[in-house]
Amino acid sequence: MKKIFLLLTGLSVWGCLHGQNYPVKTIPENLKTDAFAVVRESSESFIQQNKKNGTCKMTYVITILNEKVKLFSDFQVEEDDFCELKKFSGEVYDANGKTIKKIGKKDLVSIAFSSHLATNSKITFYSYNPPAYPYTVKYEYEMAYKNGILFFPLFDPVPGYHVALEKAQYTIQAPPDVVVRYKAQGTTIEPEQTGNTYVWQLSDFPAVPREKYAPVLELFPIIYTAPSDFCVENACGNMSTWESYGEWVQKLLKDRNVLPQKTIDKVCELTQYAATKQEKAKILYEYLQQTTRYVSIQLGIGGWQPMKAETVVQTGFGDCKALSNYMKALLEVVDIPSYYTVIHSERERFFPEFPSFGQANHVILMIPFEQDTVFLECTSPDFPFGYIGRMAGHDALAAGNDRAFFCTLPAYGPRDNAEFNTVRIQLENDGTGQLEVHTSHRNEDFASLFYRLKGASAKEENDVLAGLLRVHKPRISNIQKETRMERQPQIDVSFSVECEDFATLTGSRMLVHINPARTSLRELLTGSTRRFDILMKTSHYQEDTITIRIPEGYSVESKPGTTEIESPYGYFKSNIEEKDGQVIYNQILEIKKGRFSAAEFEEMKKFYSRIEALQNGQIGFRKG
């Protein structure tokens, strides 16, 4: 009887342990700090059969502790001609690890990319709506890779901020003749290698709290992997160096530059009176902008090969690859060499020692003139000739004319991204303010304002302009805009503003904020402590000139003094003078780009706070 009791007890314990899956109480306490979710298990295995085929098997389990990161429990994969979901199962557990829902392949939803005109891709996804928190989701699935393998799956088991990781494993198994390359970022783990099988393991990774301006790409563990030799459909190549990758890109461009005779004749007609090659290129760039439009195309050798130039002529549209290639073909008609240039539109740096496809997402065109090199953004109908916006300073790979080379685009100077404000203020005795505002924005500041105003309704336009000021309930009128579409473009906007409570009246005194132009530094750095370095990616330069007509019967009682502050983080200078019945305030503010250590957080914050306080300074007028 005792043996039977012990057997039943053992079965009961075994049943309790194995009837529960990933209960929340088993999460280590050290992983709960700053965590809104915890990845309980991430196990990914990729087996490459040959240059064109492979299989990826994945088990992923995540516990969602609160609704702030619910989206991390969603399942989503992209399917196309090169990747297909073959198997799938899922399960949802409550806080105690009890199964509350099973998910099958029939529960998944697939939708095509609606933002693309031409694509063979679709998104397959599942989203669970929990009745309560916390809960755990487990997904097991298998993906078939076919028609070519450009790179192996990315190992990034931590999906974002405030997510901890219990354990993860990543395995790459390749044929003996395949050279496996890898690059670690945000981690120092190295793989265990047996033959041509590589295994990475990671455990007990704590949650990363969100901090503004942190170097985000360094904060999370990522392993990039890729074969040196690859094939996409029948286009094979080698990516052991950026130059060899560029050679493959050149092969994709072969015979894609043929233009109809009618287009060739048009090019000759347009450029016949141009005196220089640069003038010819500018004419053809504007012709491109007027006769084509951007549409994303993901067909043809995995979306890597551009449409033929003659197809762009026939359809009038293309993606970044097609339009850059078409522009290249137009230039060839007038004997101007150019380079098809692969770049990332947001990330500045490539890995020089680790070439791979995922590091670029865009194509532009490089034209090397004798005294200058011009880069063209061929997808924009608005950009002036030679303006590249936020891609200034980015790494790129140029290919063409039987050569390929790694390069870095020129960066704008520290004061090239600039804003200039002139505000003339007429104060009335009742505190009403009549403002005449003129604002000029250059380079990146140009793009920000230009695109917010382009196509805006009257209300939207008013809201944008009101956002340039720090005044209460401005009534805006008499808006005038002018754009200078030069290599360093500029937009000028003039408008009138009426504000009833512009000044604060207290008895015989009137108080007015000295600078109504908005430059809020309050949100640049927040919090009381800092864990990560501060990465300011762009600079900002602003000059403000404020002229206040002194109200009749009033005199200046108090005003801010002259100030000059210079630091590694920026520069501030202001002065004020009273002249001919007016108060004139001049201010210069520069925010410098750069990387600053977390130890400098308090000093940076003091610098920004001091400037914010100075900008909120007031001038006092007294009646009588």
Q: Can you count the helices (H) and strands (E) in the chain?
A: 9, 38
Angle formed at CA 432 by CA 431 and CA 433, multiple of 5 degrees: 115
Nearest residue to 529 via CA among 600, 473, 443, 607:
600
- The helix (run of H) or strand (run of E) holding residue 76 is strand 75-79
Q: Among the ranges 4-18, 87-101, 527-541, which has the highest mean pLDDT value?
A: 87-101
Does the structure show a pLDDT above 60 at 13?
no
d(CA 502, CA 470): 10
Burial per residue of 447-474, b for 16 or more beta-carbon CB atoms within 10 angstroms, e otherwise: bbbbeebeeeeeeebbeebbebbbbeeb
Contact 123, 108 (CB under 8 A): no
Domain 14-227 shares a fold with domain 236-408: no
DSSP letter string, 354-413: ---GGG--EEEEEEE-SS-EEEE-TT-SSPPTT--GGGTT-EEEEEETTEEEEEEPPPPP
The pLDDT score that the predictor gives to residue 227 is: 94
Q: CA distances (Å), 414 to each of 134, 589, 591, 593, 594, in order?
A: 48, 12, 9, 8, 11
The pLDDT score that the predictor gives to residue 527 is: 79
The pLDDT score that the predictor gives to residue 333 is: 97
d(CA 73, CA 62): 7
Share of the chain above pLDDT 70, in %: 94
Angle, helices 458-466/444-453, rounded to nearest 10 degrees: 150
Does the structure show a pLDDT above 50 at 60?
yes
Contact 168, 39 (CB under 8 A): yes
In this predicted model, what pLDDT tens digit does every residue of 321-346 receive, in sequence order? 999 999 999 999 999 999 999 999 99
d(CA 158, CA 169): 12
State both tokens at 250: 């050149």
Output the CATH code of domain 418-623. Answer: 2.60.120.1130
Q: Domains of the chain: which residue ranges?
A: 14-227, 236-408, 418-623
Contact 421, 545 (CB under 8 A): yes
- CA quadruple 271, 275, 281, 282: dihedral positive or negative? negative
- Residues in Cβ contact with 158 at an 8 Å cutoff, skipping those fewer than 6 apart: 39, 164, 165, 205, 208, 220, 221
Q: CA distances (Å), 6 to each of 11, 15, 17, 20, 251, in order?
A: 9, 14, 16, 21, 73
Burial per residue of 22-35, b for 16 or more beta-carbon CB atoms within 10 angstroms, e otherwise: bbbeebeeebeeeb
Compare 300 and 63 and report the one with higher pLDDT: 63
In this predicted model, what pLDDT tens digit does every residue of 382-394 receive, in sequence order? 999 999 988 999 9
In this predicted model, what pLDDT tens digit does every residue of 294-331 receive, in sequence order? 987 665 565 788 999 999 999 999 999 999 999 999 99
Domain 14-227 has what CATH class?
mainly beta
Per the prediction, the chain carries an average pLDDT of 91
pTM: 0.87
Output the CATH code of domain 236-408. Answer: 3.10.620.30
Terminal Cα distance for the chain, rounded: 107
Per DSSP, 150 falls in state: S
The pLDDT score that the predictor gives to residue 293 is: 93
Share of the chain above pLDDT 90, in %: 79
Q: In 10 A of CB 163, how many CB atoms?
A: 26
d(CA 460, CA 587): 29
Compare 225 and 119 and report the one with higher pLDDT: 225
- CA quadruple 315, 450, 321, 146: dihedral positive or negative? negative
